[in-house]
Amino acid sequence: MVKKQHGFLNEKHIVLPNHGEYPELAIVISEIGYYQKAEHHYRERHTGAAEFILIYSMDGLGYIHLNNGSALKVKAGQLYCIPKTTSHRYYADTTNPWSILWMHFNCTHDQAVALPLSDQPISFPIEKQRTIQNHFTELLHMCERYPHQHLQRVVSPFLFFIFAEVAYLPEREEHGQDHHFLAKAIQYMNIHLASPLSLEEIAAALGVSASYLSQVFKQQLNQSPMAYLTELKMERACKFLRMEQLKIYQVAAKVGFQDPYYFSRVFKKVIGLSPKMFQDQIAPRKGE
């Protein structure tokens, strides 16, 4: 049996620059990549890895074994996160090999509750699969095009935002009341992103108390609703700064900040760069 660790069609493998420790970051990515139709793909680590390994299958089929257990079948549109220091092996199906986006990352203990850890591969409704795929593809492209010393500070909040979305997008037989209100709250935030929302306003729109909504976010995502909203706004602001020729005050208005100077302070606190530095160093320039 042929076994390959790399060398696949349209392969991408990016090792992120390590310019020292990042104790202030929730998540640090060390490697990220993409394998298309990874025929004969096989990887085995008897003692596990020092980092979490996330695999998102865009197409085809693959299998993951943990601690010599039974195979977990990972289909197109499914995601699985291998815990660190866990013995494992994974490989592509022989007749329908998977195409995967993958990454190695570490995080602080306090953020562990937000990780997409599950006994089984996480499935998403068909209409949501494109959302998750687009997020991971954008993250890969960001790492591929802009490998510089500030990259970790940019991708960390973006990945944490993706994990938060993963927490409420999966297909489940029993969502439960808490999950229902979490999804509704995040949906409301996305729709009203250009408005200066308050916790009380979001809770009132959902017909629940502010304290209950705060409890749900803390239990499900390990952060407050307003902290999640701020990260959501900054993630969207990054998109506007990268993809459109907008002034900083225009971007601020698009994500609900009437004061562009306050927006700049919040952006720098979350992303690690000022909006102007982000545009100069991260956003694509004309002609690229």
Q: Which domains does the chain have, with CATH numbers?
A: 9-127 (2.60.120.10), 176-281 (1.10.10.60)
Helix (H) or strand (E) holding 27: strand 27-36
In sequence order, the 6+-apart residues with CB closer than 8 A to the CB of 195 are: 256
The pTM (predicted TM-score) of the whole model is 0.70
Antiparallel, parallel or unpaired: β 52-59 and 79-82:
antiparallel
Per-10-residue mean pLDDT, the chain, length 288: 63 76 73 90 93 93 94 93 94 94 79 70 80 84 70 76 71 60 85 91 93 88 88 86 81 93 92 83 53
The total number of residues shown for the chain amounts to 288
| pLDDT for res 83 | 92
| pLDDT for res 103 | 92
> Tell me, what amino acid is at 253?
A
Helix (H) or strand (E) holding 252: helix 248-254
| pLDDT for res 108 | 65
- How many other C-beta atoms can be found within 10 angstroms of the C-beta atom of residue 111? 16
Q: Read off the tokens for 142.
A: 């960001």
| pLDDT for res 123 | 87
| pLDDT for res 255 | 93
Q: Give dist(CA 110, CA 223) in Å, integer.
A: 10
